[in-house]
Every structure is written in structure tokens, then in C-alpha cells.
Amino acid sequence: MAEAGGNYDLVVIGGGINGAGIARDAAGRGLSVLLVEKNDLASATSSWSSKLIHGGLRYLEQYEFRLVAEALAEREILLNIAPHLVKPMRFVMPHVPELRPRWMIRTGLFLYDHLGRRATAAGPRDSLLAGSHGISLRQPPFNAGLKPELSHGFIYSDCRVDDARLVLTNALSAAEWGAAILVRTECIAGKRIDGGWELRLRANTGKETAVTARAIVNASGPWVKQTLNERLRQPSGDNVRLVKGSHIVVPRLYPGEHAFILQNDDRRVVFMIPYQGSYTLVGTTDIPVSAAAEIPQASVEEIEYLCRAVNRYLQQPVVPQDVLWSYAGVRPLYDDGSANPSAVTRDYTLRLDDDAGSAPVLSVFGGKITTYRKLAEHVLEKLAPWFPDMKSAWTDTSPLPGGEPATETELSAAWQTLPPAVIDAIVNRHGSRISHVLLNVKSAADLGTDFGGNLYAREIDYMIEHEWAQTGDDVLYRRSKAGLHMTASQRQAVDSYVAARVGGVEQNHGMR
Ligand SMILES: Cc1cc2nc3c(=O)[nH]c(=O)nc-3n(C[C@H](O)[C@H](O)[C@H](O)COP(=O)(O)OP(=O)(O)OC[C@H]3O[C@@H](n4cnc5c(N)ncnc54)[C@H](O)[C@@H]3O)c2cc1C
């Protein structure tokens, strides 16, 4: 028998970027919100991305002008509301005449710049980012690492993002607006009751709870169809196309802070992106899969494909043995009937099922990290008839936690005694909330155990107490990427520390 767990206006199923963004927006508009995530926040597709906030230059070839214009506008908004997580980046595209003619790339980049300028939220104005132009690949810094026969290229702007922390930051904001956030809690069943829904939730401890909601958002990512058809028992003709994409992380392949967008001979593009200081991130692939694995893996063939794609351009070839880390994610795309997985629309589709006027469930298919905020606004527009007193849209100018302008604090003098690399790491993760992480820290001794990778006990405690971290991986690969810079025994020490702390720390999930 499930215990009663509370009554909400809105229950959001899924703590990826879309679920967290919707929960934040709804809570800020005055709805009582519960977000349930069966694993950790951002533990699925939203932390396995290419980590770009981008318009998607390649989508212009597929005539996805709506998506590109919206994504470019969102790029500007996210730069403003989360400057600690979203950073401008220049992208270099070497020109290979036999793949795409120069006029075609120039036209695409002209459109990209132009759509970006026109589409800013505040109306027509210049982008915050530098525009595109042609460059010589024979001059530093762009020649470094490339084959000498590559002479000409193009440069344009997009942004990189800490994808997992963007999810977390949205969940933090939702909680600050009063939302309850339940991690490691799965929605196992739901049914319509008088005027709403009753949902059964099961925590990973086995404990079951029943909650009610006036509306549900199904933001289960790759599990969207399973949640809709099997858990909520809603028949639906909409299908999801699951397309796996893999990345490899290798020792840094070239100096400089720019990324490369490399055309491949199958008409796809592959990115090489500076990553975590000493690495280069290479991705991605498009492999259709029939079911979403809990932890998808990059296959040997995908790793070889990525090495081949970059070796067309690199002077020193990369081989699979150079790969230090790889990861894969599954795109939950809306099935538009395209035969080619690379051509399936990356735009999102929102499906509202209200069974002839009864309590609604809205399902999210597809989407990009880049467009999550606008997607959330569209979701709430669709749910507005059920919540006539709900406040209007508000997230376009409101900073995410840590994105608020930094204020001088009395602590900053004390921080000067801390290692600068540690301060940088904390600022990159928490932005202006560094003052919360380092509250009362007066010297390096107050940081507690040094676990390596610029991660100290103090920050781990903060992640456990305020950011829902419960395992070593939550800390090492989502709330930070410190795991990439540690030895196996250092990672093991973090696992043990988190396990011991989680047992003894009171975590406030805000559940009613
Ligand atoms: C390889 C790759 C590269 C990408 N690169 C980019 C990029 O650079 N830029 C960009 O903008 N976009 C990118 N994307 C797209 C972007 O990552 C996805 O569109 C986005 O992360 C999807 O978010 P989501 O919240 O819908 O799904 P998810 O992040 O998958 O979240 C869904 C969550 O629901 C939970 N869940 C499922 N069922 C239940 C249940 N019954 N109860 C409770 N919880 C449940 C899951 O555990 C999961 O955490 C990329 C995608 C891939 C795969």
C-alpha cells in the first residue's frame, strides 16, 4: 500500500534539462510543483551531450529555420542568465572544396549571423557574440595541429555549456521557488481520478508513495513513450526515434581555445572541442537504437568512426588507444518518418492528452539543451487553461542560481589564501554562489580533505546538503567533472566519503 505523499498542481516526471526547466518555470509562476527523477538529476541524455549552446549550423541544410532562430535567441538569453555555465566559443570550419562549396558555407554563415541578430529576445539587435568570416589556416593559432594542405576556413561563434550543472541549477531554482525535488524516485503508475491524477512513486529504497496532481508533464526523455503508454496508460500514436550519439575524450589535440567543426564525407559534421583544460572532446555519431539503455555505451565502431573523422584533418592521427574516456547518450527525437537518423528533426513536439477535457498530461518529444527554457514556456502556455491564475512568463531575464552578478563579500579577502585553481573550479561550477559554498571558510584548512582534481570535502558536503548528490558519480561526473582529473584511488576515496556522509546528512527534498 502506497503512503500518501501530497497534492500538487503539477507533477513533472523526469529530471533532465526539460523537466528541470519546466519545474522552475512553473514554480516561479506560483504553481505547487513536484519533480520526480528515477535516478540522479541529469543522469541521462542531458549530461551526455556535446555541451554546446548553439543554433545548429548544420540544421540550416535541413531547412530547420524555426529551430535555428529560436536556438540562436536562446543562446543570447542563456549567456545572460547563466554566465558561469554558458561561455562563448569560436568555431573553425576548415574548407574542403569537394565536400561543400565555399559559397554554400558563406551563405549558411550569413544566415546564421543574420538569424542570430534578428532573433534576440529584446527585438532586433546585435548578437553578444562575434560574427563569422573567412580565415587563413596557414596562420597561428588556427594552423596548429592541422594538416598543412588545409589552407582556408571559416570562423563563427556559438557557446559551450556545463550541461549537467545547467540541469541542476534549474532544479535549484525550482526548489527556491518552492518546488519539491525527489531524486531516485520513479513514477511507476498513474491514473486519472476526479479532477486530476493519482501517481504512484517508488523510491530506490523500495518505499512507495501516492501523490495527486492537477496536471502532469511527461519529460522522461528516451522513456517518454514508455511513461505515456505503460505507466500512465495513455494510448498515443506519437512515436519517439531513439538515436544514440557517442563522444570520446582524448589528450588535448591542439593548442588554443577555439573548437573545430569538421565536415565528414557522409555529410555529417564532427566537433573537436577543448575540454576541461587538458583534453579534447570529439563527437558525435547518429546510431538508431530500439530501446534506451540506462547507461548507453560508445561502441568500438563509433570510436573508430570518430577517429577517422578527425584524422582527415589532423597532422598527428588519433587512434582508439588514445581514448581516455567515452560516453554515449540517446536522443529522444520525435519520429517524423525520416529514413536517415541524422535527418530526423531536432525540433521538439509537445503532445497534450486531456482525454476530452479531463486532467491533462503533456509529453515532451525531442528538443535541445539550448531550447529548454523556451520549450518550458511553450509547455506552460499549453497548460494555462487548467491554471487560469498562473503568472506570466518570467525566466528570460531572471538569472539562474549562481548567475546573479557577484557582490563583494567580506569573505573574499579570506579566499585569497586559497589555491587559485580551487577558486576557479568552484566559480566555474557555482558562479556567484561561491559565497554559499565557502561560507565561513577562512583558510585552506577549512576546505577539509583534498580529494584531488580541485575537489575538497567542503564542496562535496555542499553538493550533498544542497544539490541532491547521493553517490560518488553524482559528485565526480555531474556536479563536477573532477573524476576526469583523478586517479582510481582518489575516485574511490570520494565514493567512500559520499557514502559515509549521505548516511548522516539530512537532505531536504522539500516533499510535502
Ligand atoms: C550525443 C548527443 C549530443 C547532444 N548535443 C547537444 C548539444 O550540444 N546541445 C544541445 O542543445 N543539445 C544537445 N543534445 C540534445 C539534448 O541533450 C537533449 O535534447 C536533452 O538533453 C533531452 O533532455 P530531456 O530532459 O528531454 O531528457 P533526459 O535528459 O534524458 O531526461 C529524462 C529524465 O527522465 C527520467 N525518467 C524517465 N522515466 C522516469 C520515470 N518513470 N520516473 C522518474 N524519472 C524518469 C530519466 O532518468 C531522465 O533523467 C544532444 C543529445 C545527444 C544524445
Q: Please name the residue that has the C-alpha cell 498515443.
A: 236
**Residue 49 pLDDT:** 96
What amino acid occupies position 26? A
Q: Residue 335's pLDDT is what?
A: 85
Q: Specify the pLDDT at position 504.
A: 61
Q: Which CATH number fits domain 3-45+165-239+346-386: 3.20.20.70, 3.30.70.20, 3.40.50.450, 3.50.50.60?
A: 3.50.50.60
DSSP state of 400: P
* C-alpha distances out from residue 298 to 184, 283, 375, Å: 25, 11, 29
Identify the CATH number of the domain defined by range 241-334: 3.30.9.10
Whose Cα sits closest to atom 19 in ligand 1? Answer: 368
Which protein residue has the closest C-alpha to ligand 1 atom 26?
221
Q: What is the pLDDT of residue 409?
A: 58
- CB of 245 closer than 6 A to ligand 1? yes
Residues 6+ apart with CB under 8 A from 38: 184, 185, 186, 187
Choose among 367, 442, 289: nearest CA to 377.
Answer: 367
In this prediction, residue 408 carries a pLDDT of 59
Counting Cα atoms < 13 Å in the Cβ hemisphere of 302 gives 23
**Distance in angstroms (rounded) separating the CA atoms of residues 316 and 308:** 12
Provide the greatest CA pair distance for the chain: 70
pLDDT score at 62: 81
Ligand 1 pocket test: which of 368, 370, 375, 378 has the largest number of ligand atoms within 8 Å of its C-beta? 368
Cβ–ligand 1 distance for 38 under 6 Å, the answer: yes
Per the CB < 8 A criterion, the answer to whether 348 and 56 are in contact is: no
Query: For atom 2 of ligand 1, which residue has the closest CA?
Result: 49
Q: Is the CB of 365 under 6 A from ligand 1?
A: no
- CA 36 to ligand 1: nearest atom: 43
Give helix then strand counts, H and E, for the chain. Answer: 13, 18
- Measured CA to CA in angstroms, residue 186 lies from 182, 201, 203, 276 at distances of 9, 5, 6, 33
Closest CA to 274 of 309, 307, 249: 249
pLDDT tens string for the chain (512 positions)? 566 679 999 999 999 999 999 999 999 999 999 999 999 999 999 999 999 999 988 888 888 888 899 999 999 999 999 999 999 999 999 998 788 888 888 888 988 888 876 555 555 456 788 999 999 999 888 888 899 999 999 999 999 999 999 999 999 999 999 999 999 999 999 999 988 999 999 999 999 999 999 999 999 999 999 999 999 999 888 889 999 999 999 999 999 999 999 999 988 999 999 999 999 999 999 999 988 777 889 999 999 999 999 999 999 999 999 999 999 999 999 887 777 777 777 789 999 998 777 899 999 999 999 999 999 999 999 999 999 999 999 999 999 999 998 765 555 777 888 999 999 999 999 999 999 999 989 889 999 999 999 999 999 999 999 999 999 999 999 999 999 999 999 999 999 999 999 976 555 444 43
Write down the pLDDT at residue 417: 86
Q: What integer pLDDT is reported at residue 411 of this predicted model?
A: 53
Question: Relative to the CA of 220, which ligand 1 atom is closest?
Answer: 34
Task: Say how far apart CA 252 and CA 258 lie, in whole Å.
Answer: 12
Q: Is 396 within 8 Å of 373 (Cβ atoms)?
A: yes
Residue keyed to cell 567580506: 410
Report the 10 Å Cβ neighbour count for 64: 18
pLDDT value at residue 307:
98
Report pTM.
0.95
Domain boundaries, the chain: 3-45+165-239+346-386, 241-334, 412-504
Q: What is the pLDDT of residue 437?
A: 95
The pLDDT assigned to 125 comes to: 58
Q: How far is CA 491 from CA 163, 184, 223, 470, 495, in A?
A: 21, 22, 30, 15, 6
Cβ of 43 less than 6 Å from ligand 1: yes
Give the up-direction half-sphere exposure of residue 255: CA atoms within 13 A in the CB hemisphere.
4
User: Can you tell me which atom of ligand 1 is nearest the CA of 20?
Assistant: 25
Ligand 1 atom having least distance to the Cα of 187: 42
The rounded Å distance from CA 282 to ligand 1 centre is 19
CB 56 near ligand 1, within 6 Å: no
Return the residue matching grid coordinates 549562481.
402
Helix (H) or strand (E) holding 273: strand 269-275
Q: By C-alpha distance, which of 57, 30, 13 is closest to 370?
A: 57
Helix (H, G, I), strand (E, B) or coil at 202: strand
Beta-carbon contacts of residue 228 (< 8 Å; ≥ 6 apart): 218, 234, 236, 353, 361, 363
Q: Which of 47, 3, 11, 36 is nearest to 184 (CA)?
A: 36
Quick check: CB of 19 below 6 Å from ligand 1?
yes
- Percentage helix, strand, coil for the chain under 3-state DSSP, each rounded to 5: 35, 25, 40
Query: Phi then psi for 218, rounded to 5 degrees?
Result: -100, 95
- Provide the pLDDT for residue 407: 66
